[in-house]
Amino acid sequence: MTASKNGTLNSKVPEGNLQDKWDNHKNNLRLVNPANKRKFTVLVVGTGLAGASAAASLAELGYNVKAFTILDSPRRAHSIAAQGGINAAKNYPNDGDTVWRLFHDTIKGGDYRSREANVYRLAQVSNSIIDQCVAQGVPFAREYGGLLDNRSFGGAQVSRTFYARGQTGQQLLLGAYSAMMRQVHTGKIELFPRREMLDLVKVDGKARGLVARNLTTGEIERYAGDAVLLCTGGYGNVYYLSTMAKNCNATAVWRCYKRGAQFGNPSFTQIHPTCIPVSGKYQSKLTLMSESLRNDGRVWVPKKKGDNRPPNEIPEEDRDYYLERRYPSFGNLAPRDVSSRSAKYVCDEGRGVGKTGLAVYMDFADSIKRLGVDAIKAKYGNLFAMYEKITAENPYEVPMRIFPAVHFTMGGLWVDYNLSSNIPGLYVLGEANFADHGGNRLGASALMQGLADGYFVVPYTLSDYLAENLHSKKIGTDHEAFEKTEKETMERINKLLSVKGKKTVLDFHRELGELMWDNVGMSRNRKNLEMAIKKIGELRDEFWKDVNIPGENNTLNKYLEYALRVADYMELGELMARDALDREESCGGHFREEHQTEDGEAVRDDEKFSNVSSWEYKGDDKEPVKHTEDLNFEFVTPTQRSYK
Amino acid sequence: MTIHLKIWRQKDKNSPGKLVDYTVDDANPDMSFLELLDWLNERLMNEGREPVEFDHDCREGICGSCNLVLNGMAHGPMQGTAVCQLHMRKYKDGDTIVVEPWRAKAFPMIKDLVVDRSAFDRIMAAGGYISVNTGAPADANAIPVDKYNADQAFDYAACIGCGACVAACPNSSASLFTGAKISQLAHLPQGDPERNRRVVNMVDQMAEEGFGDCSNYAECEAVCPAEISITSIAKMRREYFNALSEIE
Ligand SMILES: Cc1cc2nc3c(=O)[nH]c(=O)nc-3n(C[C@H](O)[C@H](O)[C@H](O)COP(=O)(O)OP(=O)(O)OC[C@H]3O[C@@H](n4cnc5c(N)ncnc54)[C@H](O)[C@@H]3O)c2cc1C
Ligand code: SF4
Ligand code: FES
C-alpha cells in the first residue's frame, strides 16, 4: 500500500478567468527595485533553452547570474538537437488558430493530466517567444514575400509550427545562447562550463546554493546564491537507449528530490514512434526521425507473420497499413503514444520487419509518385540523408525502418504556478519540471515550454520571491551547510571509486535500461511493475558492490561522471515503476494493460486520477510518500480522446 | 572486422603525450566510430586499464562536441559529416586509424582527446549577437526578410561550433567559425545597427585568443561538418574593412 496524502499540494493558481489569470497575477507580484536587483545572485543550472533564456533575461534585469553546464560550452545543451519546430498561436496563415485553440489542443494532447492555468499561460506567451527569437536573428523559414512560414505538425489541424529547416532547436538555442553570451560580456553572467551540480545546499529550509564537481579537475566547488533554478532537462536516459544526448541525466533533479523537492508524475514518459531502430549491442543511442515525416510517409507491416520478402516485393494486398486501418480519421498522424503502442502491438504479433523484427516500415513511395522526388527532397532532404548515413539504406528507394524510442519525460520535479518547487528558492524550468505536458506531449511544444519558462515566466515569479527575501541574511560558502553537503558528496564519490568491482558502468546501465523498457515502457502491468521494482533494487545493490570505475577523482574522468549518474538512475527507475504501479488507469503515454477497451484503447479514470502524483522522499530504506494535487477542469471538459 | 587504432594519450596539459596502439578485433560495420571507442573502452576497463577520454554528446552531428582527427582529417573521411556520424562501414577489415585531438594553441589540451574550446565562447561574447532584451521586440512579421537573405543567413547559422576548421587550418585560424556568425547576422536587417562594432570586436577577440590569420588554404571548408562556405570569410573581411573605414 502506498502511503498517500490527498490534495495537500498548493498549486497557487491565481483566481479569475482563465484568460485573465496571468495578467492579474503579474499585477500582484512584487517587484525588486533596480538598485536592489544587483544584490541578488541567482544560480542557473543548465544552459538549454530553459536555462539560457532564464539566465539571459535575469541578467538583463540586473541580477547577478552564475550559469552552470556539464558540457564545455552552453551552446551544446541537448536542446540543440530538436528538429521539428516550435508552436505559437500567431495565426499568420489565417487558418483559425487562437490562443484558446493552442491551449485546448495541448491540454487534450496531454490527456487531461496537466494544469489548465499553466497550459493557458503557455499558449498566451507563445507569440512573444517567436517575436523574441526573430529579433535575436533566429533564421526561421520564410516565404517568398519575406514573411514567416508555418507548417502543420504532430497532427494539428492548423499550421502553427515555426521551423528552421530540420534544425529548429539548434537555431533557438543559439539565439538564447547568444543573448546569454551578451550578458557574459557585460559581466552580469558568470559562466561555469564543465561543472556538474551534485547536490543542493539548503539553509533554514530554503535553497541557498549548490555543490558542483569541476569535471576537469575533480574538485568539489561551492556556490552560494539567493535562488537556484534547475534547468537540467529530462531523464529519458534512465532507459539507457533513448534519443537524448549521452550526457543528459537526472542527477540534479534527483539530488533535489532527496533534499525534499517532490517529484511529479515520474512515470510519464514519451515514447516517440519514429526513430531509427536498434542495430546491435554496441548501440549507444537512438536517433529520432522527425515526426514531420508522417505527413508524407505511410506506416505498414506485412499482413502475414514471418513474411521475409524485401518490402518492395510485398504487394499492396499483403500489406497492413495498420494506423490507417485502426484510426481512419487521423491515420498516419495519430498521436505519438497511440502510434508507438500500435507499432509495439504489430511487432509483438511477430509482424515486425528488419533483422531484429523490431521495426515497421515508413514508406514514401506513394508520396514520391504523387509529388515527385524533388518535392520530397526539398521537404525532408536532410532527414533522408541522416537516415542513409546511419543505416546505409536509401529511403527514396526502400521504405524507412522505424521503431519507437524513449524521447521525452513529461514527469519532473513538481512546481507550482510560479515554477517554484516545494522548497522555497528552488525553481524548476523546462523539461526538468512536470508542469505543462500531462500524460503526453504534443510535437513542437517542449521548445515552446522551455523558452516560455525562461524568457517570460520566471523573470516575473522569481522577483516576487526575491522581494520577499530582500532582508534575509546573505549566506557565504563557508556556512556549515556547505561544509556538510560537500562532505557527503565527497563520501559518495569515494565510496563509488572504492568499489573496484568487475562490471562496467555501461553493463549496469544497459541492464537497468532493459528492465525499464520491458516493464516501465510502452505498455505496463501490475505483475511486471512489481517484478521490476524488485529487480531494480537488486541491481542497485549489485551496482554498489560490483561496479568497476577506472581512474581517480582528481582529473577528467567521464566514467566516474557516468557512474554517479547511473547510481541516481537506479533510484529514479524504481520511483518511476512505483508511480506507474500506483496509477491504476491509462492516460497518454502511461498505458496500463489492465485499463483498456476491448480494442486496446486507453481508459482513463477521471474519478480517481484526475490529479498529479507527487512523491516525497522519506529515506533510502523507506517507501516514498505520495501527495496529490487535484486537477480542476473549470474551463474545458475532459473527454475520451478519440482518433478513430 | 578488425580495426587497428593508434590513439593519442596524454594525461594532462603538462605531461607529454604519445600514440598508443590498440586493436579491436570484433568491430561491426554498423557501429559508429564513437561506438567503436566505447567498445574499446569497455575492453580496457575490463582489463583494468584506463579508458580513452573523448568529448561527445548528441551523437547526431549537431551539438559540436565530438572532435577527433582521423588519419590526419578533422572529423574523418566523410564530407559534411561530424565524426559521431561516421560508421565503420566506411573502413575495411584490417585498416589502421590514427586518432588525434584538435591541435591548436588556442585549444589547450585537457586529457587524451579532450581539449578546451572555450575561446569560441569568448569570441561569441565579444559580439556574436543582436542586442535585444527579453520582451522588447515588435511583432515577428513587422520586418520582412526576403527569402534569399533568410536562406543565406540560415546557411551560415548552421555552424555547430566544433572547431574542425581550426584543427584543419595550417594557421589554426578560426576565421570560418567567426565569419559564419558575422555573415549570418549581416544578412538580417535585425543585425544591421551593430554590424560594425560586431565584426571589429569579434575579429579582435579572435586574434587575442591566439588563433592565426587566414591565408585562403580552404582546408576549413573541406572538413566543416556543417558545410559552411568559405565565402563567409570573404564577407567577414569586407565587413571588417567597411567597419574600420566607417568608424574612422
Ligand atoms: C531528438 C529530439 C528532437 C526534439 N524535437 C523537438 C521539437 O521539434 N520540438 C519540441 O518542441 N521539442 C523537441 N524535443 C524536446 C526538446 O528538445 C527538449 O525537451 C528541450 O529542448 C529541453 O530543454 P531544456 O532546456 O529543458 O533542457 P536541455 O536542453 O536538456 O538542457 C539541459 C542543460 O542542463 C545541463 N545539466 C544537466 N545536468 C546538469 C548538472 N547536474 N549540472 C550542471 N548542468 C547540468 C546540461 O549541460 C544542459 O546545459 C526534441 C527532443 C529530442 C531528444
Ligand atoms: S565553421 Fe564548420 S568546422 Fe568551423 S566550427 Fe563551425 S561547423 Fe565546425
Ligand atoms: S557528438 Fe554532437 S556533433 Fe558529434
State whether A171 and B139 contact (CB < 8 Å). no
Please check whether residue A375 lies inside any domain of the structure. Answer: yes
Q: Which atom of ligand 2 is nearest to the CA of B227?
A: 2
Domain with CATH 1.10.1060.10 in chain B: 117-247
User: Is pLDDT above 60 for A114?
Assistant: yes
Asked if B53 and A556 come within 8 Å (Cβ–Cβ), the reply is yes
Domain boundary among A360, A376, A407: A407
Q: Identify whether residues A279 and A399 lie together within a single domain.
A: yes
Q: Is the minimum CB–CB distance between A2 and chain B shorter than 8 Å?
A: no
Residue B181 CB contacts under 8 Å (≥ 6 apart), including other chains: B124, B128, B156, B157, B159, B202
B164 Cβ inside 6 Å of ligand 3: no
Q: Is residue A312 part of a domain?
A: yes
If you measure from the C-alpha of residue A296 to the centroid of ligand 1, how many angstroms do you get, rounded to a whole number? 27
pLDDT band, very low/low/confident/very high, at A152 (cuts 50, 70, 90):
confident
SS (H, E, C) A375-396: HHHHHHHHHHHHHHHHHCCCCC
The reported pLDDT for the residue numbered B97 is 98
**What is the DSSP-derived secondary structure letter of residue A326?**
H
Whether A181 contacts chain B with CB within 8 A:
yes
Q: How confident is the model at residue A5 (pLDDT cuts 50, 70, 90)?
A: low
Point out the domain boundary residue: A407, A439, A467.
A407
Residues of chain B predicted below pLDDT 70: 248
In a domain, A441, yes or no: no
Query: In this structure, is residue A110 part of a structural domain?
Result: no
Q: What distance in Å separates the CA atoms of residue B225 and residue B67, rounded to the nearest whole number?
A: 11
CB atoms within 10 A of CB B77: 13
The pLDDT of residue A411 is above 70: yes
Q: Would you say the ipTM is above 0.95?
A: yes
> In this structure, which CATH number among 3.30.420.480, 3.40.50.170, 3.40.50.1100, 3.10.20.30 belongs to the domain B3-111?
3.10.20.30
What is the per-residue pLDDT for A153?
Answer: 84
> Where in chain B is CATH 3.10.20.30?
3-111
A339 contacts chain B (CB < 8 A): no
Q: Is A556 among the domain residues?
A: yes
CB atoms within 10 A of CB A635: 15
For chain A, the C-alpha Rg in angstroms (whole number) is: 24
B1: contact with A, CB 8 A cutoff: no
Q: Is the residue at A413 inside a domain?
A: no
**Looking at ligand 2, which atom is closest to the CA of residue B179?**
1
Residue A84: predicted pLDDT: 87
Helix (H) or strand (E) holding A608: helix A606-609
Residue A247 lies in a domain: no
Does the beta carbon of B113 lie inside 6 Å of ligand 3?
no
Q: Is there an atom of ligand 1 within 6 Å of A430 CB?
A: yes
Q: How far, in Å, are A111, A344, A518, A522 from residue A277 at the CA level?
A: 27, 12, 16, 15
The pLDDT of residue A228 is 98
User: A559 is in which domain, residue-wise?
Assistant: 496-630
Report which of B108, B78, B87, B94 is spatially closest to residue B17, judged by C-alpha positions. Answer: B108
Among A19, A122, A48, A89, CA closest to A437: A122
Interface test with B, best of A37, A53, A73, A276 (most B CBs within 10 A): A73
Active-site residue list of A: 336
For residue A300, is it within any domain? yes
Q: Which atom of ligand 3 is nearest to the CA of A76?
A: 2
- Same domain as A505, residue A399: no
CA distance A283 to chain B (A): 7
Task: Give the tens place of pLDDT for each residue, A169-214.
Answer: 999 999 999 999 999 999 999 999 999 999 999 999 999 999 999 9
CATH of residue A361's domain is 3.90.700.10
Number of domains chain A is built from: 2
Nearest to B28 among A142, A280, A551 (CB): A280
Q: What is the average pLDDT value for chain B, to the nearest integer? A: 97
**pLDDT digit string, tens, across residues B13-45:** 999 999 999 999 999 999 999 999 999 999 999
A623 and A525 in one domain?
yes
Q: How many CB atoms lie within 10 A of CB A127?
A: 17
Give A141's contacts in chain B (Cβ within 8 Å): 150
The whole-number pLDDT of residue A1 equals 41
Same domain, A620 and A505: yes
Cα(A429)–Cα(A415) distance, rounded to whole angstroms? 9
Region A19-34: what's the mean pLDDT?
96
Q: What is the pTM of this model?
A: 0.98
Amino acid at A345: Y
CB contact under 8 A, A282 and B61: no
CATH code of the domain in which A512 resides: 1.20.58.100
CATH class of B117-247: mainly alpha
The Cα of B67 is separated from the nearest Cα of chain A by a number of Å equal to 12
Do A500 and A623 belong together in one domain? yes
CB-based contact A245 B134, cutoff 8 Å: no
Structural domain ending residue among the three candidates A378, A407, A436: A407
